[in-house]
Amino acid sequence: MSPTEVLYHCAVASSPVPSPSGKSVVYQPLVEGWLRGRCYLCGAVATGKPKGKVIKDTFTDQSWAKAPDSDVVCDYCAWALSYKFDTRNYSMYARGDKLDLLSRPQIRSLLISQPDPPYVLLVAVSGQKWLHFKGHVGYSREQWDLMLEERRTLVRPSVFACVLQVFERLYQGGHTKEEILSASYQGHRIQTYGIADWEKDEAVIGPFRGSRLLDVVAFVAQKGEVSCSTALTPAMKTPQ
């Protein structure tokens, strides 16, 4: 199945779906199209509607089209595009017959757990971009296959949990997320944190700097109590 097909079935089966903002989102069944072909957006072969009736010339994601020569937009992509705010504003996790609209703490908890494929996981950073047809259906039980905004990212739960633990310790210890991501630490904060402790934690963060994994960690990191008991072994230190 395409990612939009997975999202559709989960959304309709779960409707109404609670959102992090507190409101519930109601997802309606799609209206079937009369054409059949490869979808201009997701590339799946399915029934749909003429591209000109679904996508305007002002659509800014034309370069993402997986079948740019097609004049068909599948029913599932057309359905997703009809929910302009409720498919762009929220991070989404779809699997089985369940759709969750996720907050950052919920994404954090999810990525520490083991994947249960097949699923679609979209992490919306700006809330201004279409992600559904850019996503992927995840099939691995060893690592999460997610979209961080428009970047496909693979995350191993054990590595994520341990890098998150160190990142949150630095964050809770007074360093900003920007400092940790860029290594532009303020000297007085290092002194307060303790030079030996900072050097030990920076030795863990350093190899991941610039990686998508660390970007995910920074996005979901909290200043609350850290819970992670997994040791960071040398084999885990290869950035993803």
**Residue ranges per structural domain of the chain:** 3-155, 158-237
Residue 230 pLDDT > 70: no
194 token code pair: 């303790």
Across the range 203-210, mean pLDDT stands at 96
pLDDT at 234: 34
Task: Categorize the per-residue pLDDT at 196 as very low, low, confident or very high, splitting at 50, 70 and 90.
Answer: very high
Query: Model-level pTM?
Result: 0.88
pLDDT at 85: 63
Across the range 199-208, mean pLDDT stands at 97
Residue 228 pLDDT > 80: no
Alpha carbons 231 and 61: distance in angstroms, whole number:
42
The residues that bridge with 46 in the sheet, in sequence order, are 37
Comparison of pLDDT for 231 and 182, the residue scoring more? 182
- Average of per-residue pLDDT values in the chain: 90
Alpha carbons 87 and 217: distance in angstroms, whole number:
23
Give me the helices (H) in 89-185, please: 104-112, 157-172, 177-182
Alpha carbons 23 and 121: distance in angstroms, whole number:
21
The sign one gets for the Cα dihedral 205, 206, 207, 210 is positive
